[in-house]
Chains A and B, each alone.
Chain A
């Protein structure tokens, strides 16, 4: 089973700054099967990115995804106040779904 490790665990930034979140797989995976989610307190997660780099419907273009092989990145170009939340990467493989442990993006 492939393990996803996200870093950092917590990221402290201010609105307007750039956020870079990392997701590392324990073995090479297809980028087609990497997704990113945002979860705000008390809410269900929502998908931001699928196929490693495609934005889901309605997601602002300040969110972007990149990467291949074992290393994937979610970038938020200019943080808005509503972006402070927890972010998870997700992998689909061998009919199973795996999540990373999450990165908490907090106000500095």
Chain B
């Protein structure tokens, strides 16, 4: 059974860099046809897609975040990562990783990890 698990610091200082990793277990990240993505949800608000990556490195980003965002993949570790620079309080959210499967739906999700931007 495929499982995804987010990990990383829960607290980031303003103007700092937010770094998260998603570890995939129960399946290979290198399976063709799937993309691996990040989604966030600010407290009390809706879902916001951040970006997706294929194991080949093909990447798509939300346009408004593109200048601050790096998504990378490490197939040897079956992981993919998110790096967001110059963070502000507006980046405080629950961050989820998920698999984008057939019909472009996010069909397997991690449990989510809370990231707070504060000094």
**How many inter-chain contacts with C-beta < 8 Å in the A-B complex?**
58
Asked if A33 contacts B103 (CB within 8 A), the reply is: yes
Q: Does B43 contact A (CB under 8 A)?
A: no
Q: Does B47 contact A (CB under 8 A)?
A: yes
* Interface size in chain B (residues, C-beta < 8 A): 22
CB within 8 Å of B: which of A1-15? 1
Asked if B104 contacts A33 (CB within 8 A), the reply is: yes
Q: Does A47 contact B (CB under 8 A)?
A: yes
Q: Does B96 contact A (CB under 8 A)?
A: yes
Q: Is the interface of A mostly helix, strand, loop or mixed?
A: strand
Report the minimal beta-carbon distance from A5 to chain B, rounded to whole angstroms.
Answer: 12
Report the minimal beta-carbon distance from A30 to chain B, rounded to whole angstroms.
Answer: 10
Contact status of A92 and B109, CB under 8 A, knowing A97-B49, A99-B47: no
Q: How large is the interface on A (under 10, 10 to 19, 20 to 34, 35 or more residues)?
A: 20 to 34
Asked if A56 contacts B60 (CB within 8 A), the reply is: no
Asked if B105 contacts A47 (CB within 8 A), the reply is: yes
Q: Does B89 contact A (CB under 8 A)?
A: no
Q: Mind listing 24 A-B residue pairs with CB under 8 Å?
A: A32-B103, A35-B104, A35-B105, A44-B96, A44-B98, A44-B112, A45-B106, A47-B105, A56-B105, A56-B107, A88-B46, A88-B47, A90-B106, A92-B105, A95-B60, A96-B49, A96-B62, A96-B63, A97-B37, A97-B49, A97-B106, A98-B49, A99-B48, A102-B46
